[in-house]
Amino acid sequence: MPRPILATIHTQALRNNLARARHAAHDARVWAVVKANAYGHGIERVFEGLRGADGFALLDLNEAQRVRDLGWRGPILLLEGAFELRDLELCSRLDLWHTVHCDAQIDMLAAHKTNVPQRVFLKMNSGMNRLGFAPERYRSAWTRLNALPQVDEISLMTHFSDADGPKGVTEQMAVFAATTHDLPGERSLSNSAATLRHTADPAQMTEPNGTQIVSDWVRPGIALYGSAPDFPEHSATEWGLQPGMTLAAKLIAAHAISAGSSVGYGSNFVAQADMRIGVVACGYADGYPRICPTGTPVLVDGVRTRTVGRVSMDMITVDLTPVPQAGSASVATLWGKAANGAVLSIDEVAACAQTVGYELMCGLASRVPVEVAA
């Protein structure tokens, strides 16, 4: 028998989450962001749940090829654009749309031999200071692109640094609007946080002069997988999102320990009273963060309890006090949904690990078998 650990991808939850993002974005079209192998879920495994999107956005050309191999004929956007000239050949071959964020990419386009002009998304650095043309250089980049026979339609794009926090998107919106107000082309601005928190509220997407900023394409990623982009201010449940992934493993041992006994490496948990503990077949080599302290929430047979002691490579230990009937063959849900319907959000576990749901999803280890559920 294989080791009793399993990740499950929930197709219906992905569909639900896509619908939530679409609803929040009003009439905008939705790029399902599937970079990093669909945030660790597996592109092939999420495809059925997300094929209702208007396009797929990612940044690795091999992943673009995989989306085409699945039979997807709609738009695919490369979020970081071409890395070298021959990437543009693949863009022509696979009909990929691509981001242009720097002069070198315009040079590549100018050198690219193609009879079929390419659709590009011109990226502005409106304040995040990662990728994109500074506002004062944006229009000249647009003019240069527009003059190239290799270029078809130019869409306008930016990315927010603070859509999930108190600073919000107002300043970057103002920069973007002031620079682009008279440029033609579709607009793409919002990630999950901006889509849920700001696009949903038209007042926030309005220029100072009252003009509504049209968002033609939104780019949700994390929300599609059922994690709240602004946890703990909002939970995934509050946003109407369902876990796209469950990580579960069986108890492979359960036993009683007496008050004063310690558990695991470093003896770093000491029982205050007699108690029962369970040993779960999941450890940091499966992608469960070693940093998770005693007290990290976990479900056992759908009942909420906590981890005790240090996470080891292949095992964690859990407190069975709230689940006295639990024994070996009981199921521990590390994140996601238990058989009785109880949900443990990946965001809660991530917070215990001082990180975000993104990192836990992306870190699911390759040794964990994955199943796709309806």
Ligand X SMILES: *Cc1c(COP(=O)(O)O)cnc(C)c1O
Catalytic residues: 35, 265
In the numeric block, which tokens belong to residue 167? Answer: 């600073």
**Choice from 67, 78, 79, 334 touching ligand X (CB under 6 A):** 79
Distance CA 320, CA 302 (A): 12
Is residue 355 a contact partner of residue 289, using CB atoms and an 8 Å limit?
Answer: yes
Contacting range for ligand X; rule: CB under 6 A; set: 185-193, 204-212, 287-295, 332-340: 185-193
Query: In the complex with ligand X, which residue's Cβ is closer, 189 or 303?
Result: 189
What is the total count of residues that contact ligand X (CB under 6 A)?
Answer: 13
**Could you say whether residue 220 binds ligand X (CB under 6 A)?**
yes
**Could you say whether residue 192 binds ligand X (CB under 6 A)?**
yes
Distance CA 337, CA 335 (A): 7
Tokens 């004063």 label which residue? Answer: 260
Which 277-296 positions form the footprint of ligand X (CB under 6 A)?
none
**Choice from 127, 221, 226, 287 touching ligand X (CB under 6 A):** 221
Query: In the complex with ligand X, which residue's Cβ is closer, 330 or 345?
Result: 345
Is residue 121 a contact partner of residue 153, using CB atoms and an 8 Å limit?
Answer: no
> What phi and psi values does residue 340 have, to the nearest 5 degrees?
-85, 5
Distance CA 322, CA 114 (A): 66
**Could you say whether residue 197 binds ligand X (CB under 6 A)?**
no
**Choice from 28, 205, 222, 236 touching ligand X (CB under 6 A):** 222
Contacting range for ligand X; rule: CB under 6 A; set: 199-207, 218-226, 332-340, 344-352: 218-226
Q: Cβ-closest residue to ligand X?
A: 221
Query: In the complex with ligand X, which residue's Cβ is closer, 60 or 207?
Result: 60
**Choice from 66, 98, 187, 219 touching ligand X (CB under 6 A):** 219
Tell me the three state secondary structure of residue 280: strand
**Choice from 105, 191, 305, 345 touching ligand X (CB under 6 A):** 191
Q: Which amino acid is at 209?
A: N
Binding mask 225-254 toward ligand X (x if CB under 6 A, else -) reads ----x-------------------------
**Could you say whether residue 172 binds ligand X (CB under 6 A)?**
no
- The b-or-e profile of 191-200 (16+ CB within 10 A means b, else e) is bbbbbbbbbb
Contacting range for ligand X; rule: CB under 6 A; set: 104-112, 179-187, 208-216, 219-227: 219-227
**Could you say whether residue 101 binds ligand X (CB under 6 A)?**
no
Distance CA 315, CA 142 (A): 54
Is residue 266 a contact partner of residue 310, using CB atoms and an 8 Å limit?
Answer: yes
In the numeric block, which tokens belong to residue 233? Answer: 């201010």
Q: How many other C-beta atoms lie within 10 A of the C-beta of residue 162? A: 16
- Assign 3-class secondary structure to 347-372: HHHHHHCCCCHHHHHHCCCCCCCEEE
Contacting range for ligand X; rule: CB under 6 A; set: 146-154, 186-194, 263-271, 309-317: 186-194
Distance CA 59, CA 137 (A): 24
User: Least separation, in Å, of the C-beta of 2 and ligand X?
Assistant: 32
Query: In the complex with ligand X, which residue's Cβ is closer, 222 or 279?
Result: 222
Which 22-61 positions form the footprint of ligand X (CB under 6 A)?
33, 35
Please give the angle made by the CA atoms of 28, 124 and 33, to the nearest 5 degrees. Answer: 45
Closest CA to 187 of 219, 139, 148, 223: 219
The residues of the shown chain that bind ligand X, judged by CB under 6 A, are 33, 35, 79, 159, 191-193, 219-223, 229
